[in-house]
């Protein structure tokens, strides 16, 4: 069912003109009638006498024919007006409503906002503009196809409508963007509506036997504080939404003027990243991993580095931007290929190479083939490659897809480790279904190991669990002798951290290897 149709300003103008024309016609007819009365013009009598005098002209037959033509003309005009009305209805339906969700589209939503603003100005009210953008919706389209994606957009639009009041408007701007317009007589009206909208993220959608959860980022701009025109308010709410997307996904953020500056810096970084990607302006560093059983370096983890204008961009920030902008797939393949190439210069035959990947890589239908190709190009034995996948992938909507691809990788001989284990949404049920070989315990546990009995207990429990699941355990972020000693004591298999060795560039590693071998 469509939302209540609000007249556009053009329609209002046309209706006003029709009323005005009708008024003028009535006035003119009235004046002419009065004049005829005053002048005593007996029009019909004159006509009658004229037709009697010219009987042979067949005036009465002609009059009857003219009368029928007139009546036919009126009927014809009425029918054409009906056609015109249908045409206008159809055209405005296409021009103002989104055909997938049946919600007002961008043009009509902005028209409604403009009218709401006029009314709010007259009545001294506020208007809240909420910009909503679904997170990772591309994944739904890629995984389930566009027809299912459209269905999901439609259902989501409906749920949005039921979470607002009848008088409010929800429109679909484009793709996975929605706009909600609320007229507020009182500021307190906003909070419960926002709560209801936010809670939609807890609801699930059934698609192809899978229960899908749609997460979104949203931004709110309020008239008259954040803008006076529809365009300004839309822009402010868009900025707030984008801020929420890059800082804390899944939240509804209110616009503040400082957001624009932060976003400008972010846009700048995004475009720098694009250029860096074209010029391959990244390099790799490698951090050693120690076996606590043999006391030997048993492998290295490859970590990407990006230096921009003489400044090191934090890697976590680089990865986040690359994920948000969809460049992570390309970066991931570059990292893999570069690390495999670099490994030839420093990695010993019994050492492994850890390469980080994100769940986004599993969206690539040819991901497994790409890994296989890279391994054969660099003639790297698959069993020495360890792909590090963060724990958040375990709660991904495409978990089944991830599992199948991991199985295919395992069949090739590639090892998989779960990175930053313990801080995410530990989904132990899913862990046992995955063909993984190692759990990398996040550094927050390692850091607290010496002082906190609780963290010691957590790691011990994880080690026991890992043993039962036939997995090895690596503790990340070892920064001191005490931490390392404690890890030995509780039976951890491997360790990595600044105390063992900081990440180093290929050149430094090769130099050190040369000097230690006396070359
Ligand atoms: P990670 O995979 O858990 O990597 C370990 C991070 O901890 C690295 O940060 C490393 O420099 C840092 N680290 C190692 N030892 C210590 C320590 O003793 N103390 C402290 N405080 N930190 C230590 P980095 O290089 O900034 O990377 C951050 C995260 O970015 C990585 O966490 C990984 O998730 C991601 N990342 C790094 N390189 C890549 C990459 O090539 N591809 C992808 N997809 N992600 C990457
Ligand atoms: Mg890692
Ligand atoms: Mg980690």
Output the pLDDT for position 331: 95
Q: How far is the C-alpha of 374 from the C-alpha of 333, rounded, in Å?
A: 8
Asked if residue 430 and residue 282 are part of one domain, the reply reads yes
Output the pLDDT for position 9: 74
Burial class (CB in 10 A: 0-12, 13-18, 19+), 233: buried
Lowest mean pLDDT among 43-47, 186-190, 385-389, 481-485: 43-47
Nearest CA to ligand 1 atom 11: 503
Mean of per-residue pLDDT scores for the chain? 89
Has this prediction a pTM greater than 0.75? Answer: no
Residue 206's contacts (CB-CB under 8 Å, 6 or more residues apart) are: 212
| Ligand 1: nearest atom to the Cα of 390 | 34
| Per-residue pLDDT band at 424 (split at 50, 70, 90) | low
Exposure string (b/e) for 466-494, b if CB count within 10 Å is 16 or more? Answer: beeeebbbbbbbbeeeebbebbeebebbb
**Distance from the CA of 303 to the center of ligand 1, in angstroms?**
6
Full DSSP string of 169-192: EEEEEETTEEEEEEEESSGGGHHH
**For residue 397, what is the domain's CATH number?**
3.20.20.450
Residue 71 has pLDDT above 80, yes or no: yes
| Ligand 1: nearest atom to the Cα of 319 | 45
Lowest mean pLDDT among 84-98, 105-119, 234-248: 84-98
Classify residue 467: in a domain, yes or no: yes
Output the pLDDT for position 326: 87
The closest alpha carbon to 442, from 405, 469, 478, belongs to 478
CB 201 within 8 A of CB 221: no
Residue 395 has pLDDT above 70, yes or no: no
CB 141 within 8 A of CB 149: yes
Classify residue 130: in a domain, yes or no: yes
Residue 282 has pLDDT above 90, yes or no: yes
Ligand nearest to the Cα of 354, by number:
2
Nearest CA to ligand 1 atom 24: 315
Asked if residue 169 and residue 90 are part of one domain, the reply reads no
Picking from 229, 255, 281, the residue at the C-terminal end of a domain is 255
Residue 217 has pLDDT above 90, yes or no: yes
Output the pLDDT for position 426: 57
Output the pLDDT for position 510: 93
**Distance from the CA of 132 to the center of ligand 1, in angstroms?**
32
Classify residue 101: in a domain, yes or no: no
Tell me the CA end-to-end span of the chain in Å, nearest whole number: 79
Residue 4 has pLDDT above 60, yes or no: no
Output the pLDDT for position 224: 95
Ligand nearest to the Cα of 328, by number:
1
Residue 3 has pLDDT above 70, yes or no: no
Residue 250 has pLDDT above 90, yes or no: no
Output the pLDDT for position 427: 61
Which structural domain range is residue 400 located in? 270-517
Classify residue 263: in a domain, yes or no: no
CB 483 within 8 A of CB 452: no
| Per-residue pLDDT band at 143 (split at 50, 70, 90) | confident
Classify residue 261: in a domain, yes or no: no
Asked if residue 377 and residue 231 are part of one domain, the reply reads no
Ligand nearest to the Cα of 338, by number:
1
Q: How far is the C-alpha of 404 from the C-alpha of 415, rounded, in Å?
A: 14
The closest alpha carbon to 3, from 249, 183, 176, 168, belongs to 168
Could you read off the pLDDT of 25-41 as tens digits, one per residue?
999 999 998 998 888 77
Phi-psi domain of 175 (left: phi exceeds 0; alpha: psi -120 through 50; beta: other): left
| Ligand 1: nearest atom to the Cα of 316 | 30
Classify residue 285: in a domain, yes or no: yes
Asked if residue 435 and residue 319 are part of one domain, the reply reads yes
Nearest CA to ligand 1 atom 17: 477
Asked if residue 154 and residue 84 are part of one domain, the reply reads no
Residue 404 has pLDDT above 70, yes or no: yes
**Number of structural domains in the chain:** 3
Report whether residue 332 contacts ligand 1, using a CB cutoff of 6 Å: yes
Lowest mean pLDDT among 193-207, 321-335, 423-437: 423-437
Q: How far is the C-alpha of 353 from the C-alpha of 417, rounded, in Å?
A: 11
Asked if residue 125 and residue 82 are part of one domain, the reply reads no
Output the pLDDT for position 332: 94
Report whether residue 288 contacts ligand 1, using a CB cutoff of 6 Å: no
Asked if residue 88 and residue 54 are part of one domain, the reply reads yes
Picking from 77, 96, 115, the residue at the C-terminal end of a domain is 96
Residues 342-346: what's their mean pLDDT? 95
Asked if residue 140 and residue 18 are part of one domain, the reply reads no
Show the tokens assigned to 142: 């890629």
**For residue 182, what is the domain's CATH number?**
3.30.70.270
Asked if residue 156 and residue 67 are part of one domain, the reply reads no
**Distance from the CA of 391 to the center of ligand 1, in angstroms?**
14
Asked if residue 83 and residue 137 are part of one domain, the reply reads no
Asked if residue 221 and residue 115 are part of one domain, the reply reads yes
Helix, strand, or coil (residue 464): helix
**Distance from the CA of 167 to the center of ligand 1, in angstroms?**
50
Picking from 232, 255, 278, the residue at the C-terminal end of a domain is 255
Output the pLDDT for position 89: 79
At residue 159's C-alpha, the angle toward residues 158 and 160, to 5°, is: 90
Residue 518 has pLDDT above 80, yes or no: no
Residues 102-129: what's their mean pLDDT? 94
CB 97 within 8 A of CB 107: no
Residue with tokens 């953020």: 253
Residues 482-507: what's their mean pLDDT? 95
Asked if residue 355 and residue 478 are part of one domain, the reply reads yes
The closest alpha carbon to 182, from 218, 135, 134, 137, belongs to 218
Show the tokens assigned to 179: 């706009």
| Per-residue pLDDT band at 450 (split at 50, 70, 90) | confident
């Amino acid at each position: 069912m469509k939302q209540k149709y609000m007249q556009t300003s053009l329609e209002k103008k046309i209706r006003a003109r029709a009323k005005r024309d009708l008024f003028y016609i009535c006035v003119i007819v009235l004046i002419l009638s009065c004049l005829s009365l005053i002048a005593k013009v007996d029009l019909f009598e004159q006509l009658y006498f004229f037709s009697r005098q010219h009987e042979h002209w067949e005036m009465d037959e002609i009059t009857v024919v003219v009368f029928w033509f007139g009546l036919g003309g009126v009927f014809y005009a009425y029918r054409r007006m009906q056609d015109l009305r249908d045409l206008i209805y159809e055209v405005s339906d296409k021009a103002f409503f989104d055909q997938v969700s049946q919600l007002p589209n961008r043009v009509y939503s902005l028209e409604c906002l403009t009218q709401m603003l006029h009314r709010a100005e007259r009545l001294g009210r506020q208007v809240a503009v909420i910009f909503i953008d679904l997170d990772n919706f591309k994944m739904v389209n890629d995984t389930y196809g566009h027809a299912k994606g459209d269905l999901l957009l439609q259902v989501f639009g409906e749920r949005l409508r039921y979470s607002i009041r009848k008088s409010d408007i929800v429109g679909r701007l484009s793709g996975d963007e929605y706009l909600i317009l609320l007229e507020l007589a009182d500021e307190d009206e906003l909070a419960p509506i926002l709560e209801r909208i936010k809670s939609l993220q807890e609801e699930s959608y059934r698609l192809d036997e899978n229960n899908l959860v749609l997460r979104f980022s949203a931004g709110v701009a309020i008239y008259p504080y954040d803008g006076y025109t529809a365009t300004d308010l839309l822009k402010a709410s868009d900025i707030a939404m984008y801020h929420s997307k890059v800082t804390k996904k899944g939240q509804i953020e209110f616009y503040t003027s400082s957001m624009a500056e932060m976003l400008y810096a972010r846009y700048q970084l995004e475009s720098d990243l694009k250029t860096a990607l074209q010029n391959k302006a990244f390099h790799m560093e490698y951090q050693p991993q120690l076996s606590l059983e043999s006391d030997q370096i048993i492998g290295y983890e490859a970590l990407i580095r990006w230096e921009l204008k003489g400044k090191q961009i934090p890697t976590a920030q680089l990865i986040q931007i690359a994920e948000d902008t969809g460049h992570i797939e390309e970066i991931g393949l570059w990292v893999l290929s570069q690390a495999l190439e670099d490994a030839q210069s420093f990695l010993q035959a019994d050492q492994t190479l850890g390469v980080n990947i994100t769940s986004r890589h599993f969206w690539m239908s040819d991901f497994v083939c790409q890994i296989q190709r890279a391994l054969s190009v660099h003639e790297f034995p698959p069993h020495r490659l360890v792909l590090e996948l963060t724990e958040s992938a375990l709660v991904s909507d495409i978990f089944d897809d991830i599992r199948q691809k991991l199985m295919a990788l395992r069949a090739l001989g590639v090892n998989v480790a779960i990175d930053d284990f313990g801080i995410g949404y530990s989904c132990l049920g899913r862990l046992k279904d995955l063909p993984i070989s190692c759990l990398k315990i996040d550094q927050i546990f390692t850091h607290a190991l010496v002082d906190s009995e609780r963290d010691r207990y957590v790691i011990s429990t994880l080690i026991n669990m890992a043993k039962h699941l036939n997995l090895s355990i690596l503790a990340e972020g070892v920064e001191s002798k005490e931490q390392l000693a404690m890890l030995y004591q509780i039976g951890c298999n491997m360790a990595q951290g600044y105390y063992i060795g900081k990440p180093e560039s290929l050149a430094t590693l090769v130099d050190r290897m040369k000097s230690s071998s006396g070359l």
